A and B are shown apart, each in its own frame.
Chain A
Amino acid sequence: MAIVLEDVTKIYNPGQPNEVHAVKGVSLRIGKNEVVILKGPSGSGKTSLLSIIGCMSRPTSGRVLVNGRDVAKLPERFLTEIRRQRCGFIFQQFNLLRGITVKENIMLPLYPAGVSLGEIKRRTEEVMDLLQISHRANFRVEQLSGGEQQRVAIARALVNDPEIVLADEPTAHLDTHLSEEFLRMISEIKGAGKTVVIATHDPLVYESSLVDRVIHMRDGIILEEGQ
Chain B
Amino acid sequence: MRRHLFILEFALSGLCRRRYKNLALLVAYSLLIFIISSILFLTHALKREAELLLQSSPEITVQRLMAGRHALVPVDWVDTIVSIPGVIDASPRYWGYYYDPFTGANFTVLGVRSSEFPLKGREDLDPEDCLIGSGVSETGLLRTGDSLVMVDPEGIARPFRVAGVFSTSSSILTNDLVVLKEETIKRFFQIPEGYAVDLVVRVANPSEIDTIAKKIKEKIPSSRPITRTEILRTYESLFDWRSGMVLSMFIGALLAFFIFAWDKATGLSAEERREIGVLKAIGWDSSDIMEMKFWEGLVLSSLAYLTGTITGFVHVFMLGAPLLESALKGWSVLFPSLKLRPVIEVYQLMVLLFLTVVPYMAATIAPSWKAAMTDPEEVIRS
A72 to chain B, nearest CB (A): 14
**Are B282's CB and A156's CB within 8 A?**
yes
A226 to chain B, nearest CB (A): 25
Residue B25 interfacial (CB < 8 Å):
no
With A47-B381, A91-B379, A109-B283 in contact, is A97–B278 under 8 Å at CB? yes
Residue A51 interfacial (CB < 8 Å):
yes
A2 to chain B, nearest CB (A): 20
Chain A residues with CB below 8 A from B3, complex form: 111-114
User: How many chain A residues have a CB neighbour from B under 8 Å?
Assistant: 39
B 6-48 binary contact with A (CB < 8 Å = 1; else 0): 1101100100111000000000000000000000000000000
With A95-B379, A111-B10, A112-B3 in contact, is A80–B283 under 8 Å at CB? yes
Interface size class of B (residues with CB under 8 A): 20 to 34
A 86-117 binary contact with B (CB < 8 Å = 1; else 0): 01110110010111100010001111111111
Interface residues of A in 58-73 (CB under 8 A from B): none
**Are B279's CB and A114's CB within 8 A?**
no
Return the contact of A56 from the options B18, B275, B286, B376 (Cβ within 8 A). B376
With A56-B376, A56-B377 in contact, is A89–B6 under 8 Å at CB? no
Chain A residues with CB below 8 A from B381, complex form: 47
B328 to chain A, nearest CB (A): 45
Residue A168 interfacial (CB < 8 Å):
yes
Residue B150 interfacial (CB < 8 Å):
no
With A91-B380, A112-B6, A112-B7 in contact, is A100–B282 under 8 Å at CB? no
With A95-B274, A111-B3, A112-B7 in contact, is A77–B285 under 8 Å at CB? yes
Max chain B Cβ within 10 angstroms of own Cβ: one of A51, A88, A100, A168: A51
Chain B residues with CB below 8 A from A51, complex form: 376-377, 380
**Are B380's CB and A108's CB within 8 A?**
no
Chain A residues with CB below 8 A from B380, complex form: 47, 50-51, 56, 89, 91-92, 168
Residue A57 interfacial (CB < 8 Å):
yes
CA–CA, A59 and B62, complex, Å = 85
Return the contact of A112 from the options B281, B283, B377 (Cβ within 8 A). B283
When C-beta atoms are compared, the residue in chain A nearest to B17 turns out to be: A99
Chain B residues with CB below 8 A from A114, complex form: 2-3
With A47-B380, A91-B380, A111-B3 in contact, is A57–B375 under 8 Å at CB? yes
CA–CA, A111 and B288, complex, Å = 9
CA–CA, A76 and B377, complex, Å = 13
CA–CA, A97 and B11, complex, Å = 13
Return the contact of B377 from the options A57, A99, A104 (Cβ within 8 A). A57
CA–CA, A87 and B280, complex, Å = 12
Interface residues of B in 274-333 (CB under 8 A from A): 274-275, 278-288
Chain A residues with CB below 8 A from B9, complex form: 111
A 105-133 binary contact with B (CB < 8 Å = 1; else 0): 00011111111110010000000000000
When C-beta atoms are compared, the residue in chain B nearest to A110 turns out to be: B6
A76 to chain B, nearest CB (A): 7
**Are B6's CB and A111's CB within 8 A?**
yes
Chain B residues with CB below 8 A from A95, complex form: 274, 278, 379
When C-beta atoms are compared, the residue in chain B nearest to A159 turns out to be: B282
When C-beta atoms are compared, the residue in chain A nearest to B9 turns out to be: A111
**Are B10's CB and A108's CB within 8 A?**
yes
Residue A21 interfacial (CB < 8 Å):
no
**Are A84's CB and B13's CB within 8 A?**
no
Chain B residues with CB below 8 A from A85, complex form: 283
A7 to chain B, nearest CB (A): 20
A-B contact pairs, 10 of them (CB 8 A): A56-B376, A76-B286, A84-B284, A92-B380, A97-B275, A99-B18, A110-B6, A111-B10, A114-B2, A168-B380
- Chain A residues with CB under 8 Å of chain B are 47-48, 50-51, 54, 56-57, 76-77, 80, 83-85, 87-89, 91-92, 95, 97-100, 104, 108-117, 120, 156-157, 160, 168
Known pairs A77-B286, A168-B380 / 8 extra A-B pairs, C-beta < 8 Å: A56-B377, A56-B380, A91-B379, A97-B275, A98-B17, A99-B13, A100-B13, A100-B17
The 9 closest A-B pairs by CB, nearest first: A84-B283, A99-B17, A111-B6, A57-B377, A109-B282, A80-B285, A51-B377, A112-B288, A56-B376
